[in-house]
Amino acid sequence: MLNSMRPILLLCMVVIVAAGCSNKKAETASTSAAPSIPAPPDVAAAPADAQRTPTGLVSKVLKAGTGTRHPRPNSQVVVHYTGWTTDGKMFDSSVARGEPATMSLDGVIAGWTEGVQMMVVGEKRRFWIPAGLAYEGKDGPQGTLVFDIELIRIES
């Protein structure tokens, strides 16, 4: 009986593999279709007038906000962001995708959790996040990361 089922099993495996490959191609196509946003000129190092926290997080306000309320460590926020490595390679961007991202600050890297709490609605900041507050030892881009983050809304 197993010999008679072998062609069917083989066909099922081919279909499953083909479906997985076509999904990967679609994911890659949609990711590569997003435009790359050029890195800011100060991506390699923060300017002297940037704010520094005791943890090593560095930031500079690019646009003042209009709100007065700051997110909490577990707040859900809506943001637009772009991230680069210090050699100027963009690795992620809600701006390039054309859609803001909604996330909980207790589910992101420590540099985001700390940094976004410093912001008010409408504010845009550039953050230089040291590896220890980013993905050091985990999956993700390594080393210091630079993010432009605009806080659009605090949902909770």
Q: Please give the positions annotated as active site.
A: 81, 91-92, 109, 135, 147
Please check whether residue 145 is in contact with residue 59, taking contact to mean a CB–CB distance below 8 angstroms.
no
Q: Do strands 145-154 and 90-93 pair parallel, antiparallel, or not at all (unpaired)? A: unpaired
Pair 48, 125: CB distance under 8 Å: no
Give the residue from 128, 121, 123, 97 showing the smallest Cα distance to 32. Answer: 97
In sequence order, which residues have a C-beta less than 8 Å from that of residue 146 and are 6 or more positions away? Answer: 39, 40, 43, 83, 84, 85, 86, 126, 127, 128, 129
Phi and psi at residue 59, to the nearest 5°: -150, 160
**98 Cβ contact partners less than 8 Å away, ≥ 6 residues apart:** none
